[in-house]
Each structure stands twice: as C-alpha cells, then as structure tokens.
Amino acid sequence: MNRPVRVALLGCGTVGTEVVRLLEDQAADLAARVGAPVELAGIAVRRPHRHPGVRQELLTTDAAALVAREDVDVVVEVVGGIEPARTLLLQAIKAGKSVVTANKALLAEDGATLAEAADAAGVDLYYEASVAGAIPLLRPLRESLAGDRITRVAGIVNGTTNFILSAMAASGAGYADALAEATRLGYAEADPTADVDGYDAASKAAILATIAFHTRVTAADVHCEGIRRVTAADIAAAEGLGCAIKLLAICERVPGSGGAPESVSARVYPAMIPLAHPLASVDEAFNAVFVEADAAGQLMFYGQGAGGAPTA
C-alpha cells in the first residue's frame, strides 16, 4: 500500500457533509481502488461550532493555510461562489495539489483560468459534479465522445426548478410552497435566485457548451430566462396542448452562413415539451440531458442532479 492520499475539504454544508460520510464509509473500497488510503487532512468551515457531527480536530477556519499544507495532496471545494473559492483553488493548484470542485458559478465565469493554471502546474482539475450532480456527463462528453462531433446538448440541469415545475403540475401547489420544499430538501441554492432565475442552469450550460464544442463559453454568453413568471395557468394551458413546461438548457452548433463561420448558441428558458417526449416525464429534482452527435446519434443521460449525497 502506498502512502495515503490526503484530502482537504473546503466547505461542509449539504454536499460537504456527504463527502465526509462517503470518504469514511467507503474508506476500505477507496483504498483498494486507489492503491492508497484516502484520508481527510482537514475541513475548512466558517463556523466550526455548527458542525458537531464532524471530527473536531479536522475543522479549521483558515482555508488558505489548509490548502497550503504540505501533507495535502487533493483539494475538494464545495463552498460555491466566485471568491474566495477562485483564490483558494489557484493557490492549491500552484502549490501542486489536484483540485476537485462542484463550483459551477466559478467554472462558468473563469474556468479557463483554473484550467490553464492546472495545465501549467501539471495537476488535475475535475468538476463532474458541477453539472447534473450524480450523472456522469462531463467525462463522457470530454473523453468517451472525443472521437465524435457533438452537435447539440439539451436538457434539464436544474433540480430545484424541475422540482418546482413538477410540483406545480402534479398537485397545483403554489410556486412559493414548492420552492420552500425544494429548499428544505437541500436542492435549492442558499440564495434560490440562482435557481429560479435560471443563472444556475446558465452556468451549467456554459460548462456543457465549452466541453461539447471545444470552445470557451461563459455564463454571460448564455441567454437566460427563469421560471418566476410561470403561473399555474401557464401550466394548465400547456397541458391542454399536450405539453409540459420544463426549464431547458440548450447548447448547439449554429451553421455558418454568408461567409460567417459556424458559431455556438447556449440558452436557458422555460419551454413547452410534448408529453410524449422523454424529457416531459423527468420529474422532481431529477436531471436529464440529451446529447446529439454525428456518429453516436442521440444519447440520454438521466439521474439525480442535486442534493447532498448524489453530488458528493
């Protein structure tokens, strides 16, 4: 057995708590697969007294000191937001640590800086959980389909809004009640504005478009419209037309014309989907993503896109 792989965890909320649990519960299997024990070196949090279930000796409020520690090999970031996450991850990368992050907002705003820093330092940067939670999606796009030409990626990538729209359609629940339940279940962001106004899905669309089309798309490039203005009457009207309303993220190649080169379109908006379409039956906090590629044809990825354990 090799020397342990030591992990620093930044953040111990809904997802971080489950990362700790999985590292502990799966310790024996992880050691066997990795060829070395995977150990927690420390956990950076803002308020240690709020984490009574975690081994207290691991907790620290000094995230910068934790990522700089010589005995840390990998930094896992589940804090979210642009700063201080970006600075901490860049510090970690420059210090030779590999980084795993679920931070879609940061990746969608400045993923290129992280990727360039990781390349320069010769370390790994992984972010599978940043889009569609538990669904293995980014690695298939980047690696499994590397020999294909992806033309379109479209789907439901925000669990909170899908939960809200499903609840409104199934029970006639009001928007506010459905949002409160999504928050209670740990799907919604601390500030649900990012979910209901489509920014969370727009960040994910930017990450998907960047990987699928080998280009740089940021959240600011994505047309974004949320679900705040979708009413019970809209949902009933859609049903009358044989449709469901879903918040879709759509990324596609746009053929060039008149001498202009091919471009990429990425957009998020509530769309009417025929009930017979597989995306129409994706309910609750589940995510589903359709990928269309020249050789592979249509692929669909489906699973839990939010929540502590699936994201962990």
How many H-runs (helices) and E-runs (strands) does the chain carry?
Answer: 12, 12
Q: How many residues bind ligand HSE (CB under 6 A)?
A: 11
User: CA-to-CA distance for 173 and 163, rounded, in angstroms?
Assistant: 11
Among 18, 73, 77, 189, contact with ligand HSE (rule: CB under 6 A): 189
Between 195 and 252, CB nearer to ligand HSE: 195
Q: Is 198 in the site for ligand HSE (CB under 6 A)?
A: no
Q: Is 301 in the site for ligand HSE (CB under 6 A)?
A: no
Q: Is 187 in the site for ligand HSE (CB under 6 A)?
A: yes
66-105: contacts with ligand HSE (CB under 6 A) = none
Between 117 and 287, CB nearer to ligand HSE: 287
For residue 110, the surrounding DSSP H or E stretch is helix 104-121
What is the contact mask toward ligand HSE in residues 237 to 276, using x (rule: CB under 6 A)? ----------------------------------------
Helix H segments across 190-270?
A: 193-196, 199-212, 232-240
Among 19, 306, 308, 312, contact with ligand HSE (rule: CB under 6 A): 306
**Least distance in angstroms from the C-beta of 162 to ligand HSE:** 8
Cβ-contact 282, 301 below 8 angstroms: no
**Least distance in angstroms from the C-beta of 287 to ligand HSE:** 7
What is the contact mask toward ligand HSE in residues 110 to 149, using x (rule: CB under 6 A)? -----------------------x----------------
Residue type, 111: G
Question: Which tokens go with 180?
Answer: 């409160």
Residue type, 14: T
Among 18, 73, 195, 252, contact with ligand HSE (rule: CB under 6 A): 195
Q: Could you tell me the sign of the dihedral formed by the alpha carbons of 114, 115, 121, 123, in that order? A: positive
Name the DSSP class of 269. Answer: E
Active-site annotation holds for 204: yes
Q: Is 158 in the site for ligand HSE (CB under 6 A)?
A: yes
Between 123 and 169, CB nearer to ligand HSE: 169
Helix H segments across the chain?
A: 14-25, 27-34, 63-68, 85-94, 104-121, 138-139, 159-171, 175-184, 193-196, 199-212, 232-240, 308-311
Phi, psi (deg, nearest 5) at residue 87: -60, -45
Instruction: Give, in degrees to the nearest 5, the angle at Cα 119 between 114 and 125.
Output: 55
Distance between the two ends of the chain, CA-based, in angstroms?
A: 25
**Least distance in angstroms from the C-beta of 187 to ligand HSE:** 4
Pick the catalytic residue from 94, 97, 104, 204: 204
User: CA-to-CA distance for 142 and 209, rounded, in angstroms?
Assistant: 11
Active site residues: 204
What residues make contact with ligand HSE under the rule CB under 6 A? 133, 158-160, 187-189, 195, 200, 305-306
